[in-house]
Amino acid sequence: MIRKAVFPVAGLGTRMLPATKVIPKEMLCVVDRPAIQYVVEEAVEAGLSEIIFVISRGKEAILDHFDLSPELETELEARKKTALLEKVRRVSALVESLSAVRQKKALGLGHAVLTAAPLVGKEPFAVLLGDDLVQAEVPCIKQLADKALELKASVVAVERLPREKVSLYGVISGEDLGGGLWRVQGVVEKPRPEEAPSELAIIGRYVFFPEIFEYLRRIPRGAGGEYQLTDAVAAMIADGRPVYALEFQGTRFDTGNKLGFVKTILAYALRDPEIGEELRRYLREDLALL
């Protein structure tokens, strides 16, 4: 069983300034809930029962969101706002076990994952990035977890992107094993499009075995002067340890930039049972977009 999910949420969210000056980017709202809630819901639906947040100063609102809210619940109950009360209680009950560790310096994703090592211990675990929301029949992280347990090896999620966009991601080269599964042979962090080894970009879902921590402790600083998670993956591969990549089934939305965030809101709003139909009518008739 894979029980633990690590959420690195210590980033500054500079691409979404000034909105993220005092509000964590993960708490920006997509329709009626913060973006991070969708990702936590994915983890819980996949059976991951222990949630570990890697936070930085000013990110306590993320923890508060999933904690109990006695004063708010009492007020809603007194006002007989039953529907709203149930929504609040549902969020509080979402996470059975919640813990956090602070990343004091912004030293990269690899450093953030390593910071969680004392809470993860010696067992396989998942890593989910709050920027990426995935709509899928089977939760994206469950697709990876099932494959990782089957192969007894680390698995990363990849998505085939236009070559001009791969420079924002870690990009793999590998052996095609069929069914969307790849045996990773190399990883390049944020390559130039013409130098990218493929169009398969790593997105924000990973399942690792605890051996990853050994490599995160020994890698030097990489791209941007940060400790890159992809460098640790590359070091594992160089040592002959198997790492796999899975082209997951589902649709990914990137909330980490303005255009992606707006696209995400529209996609989720159109699927919302309360407002979807009216929004579709508005886009089609008032704006003549559909």
Q: What is the mean pLDDT of each run of 10 residues along the chain (290 residues)?
A: 94 85 91 95 95 92 90 90 90 88 91 96 96 96 97 96 90 94 92 91 96 94 84 94 96 93 95 94 82
Domains of the chain listed by start with CATH number? 4-256 (3.90.550.10)
The pLDDT score that the predictor gives to residue 218 is: 93
DSSP strand pairing (29-30 vs 33-34): antiparallel
The pLDDT score that the predictor gives to residue 118 is: 95
The pLDDT score that the predictor gives to residue 274 is: 93
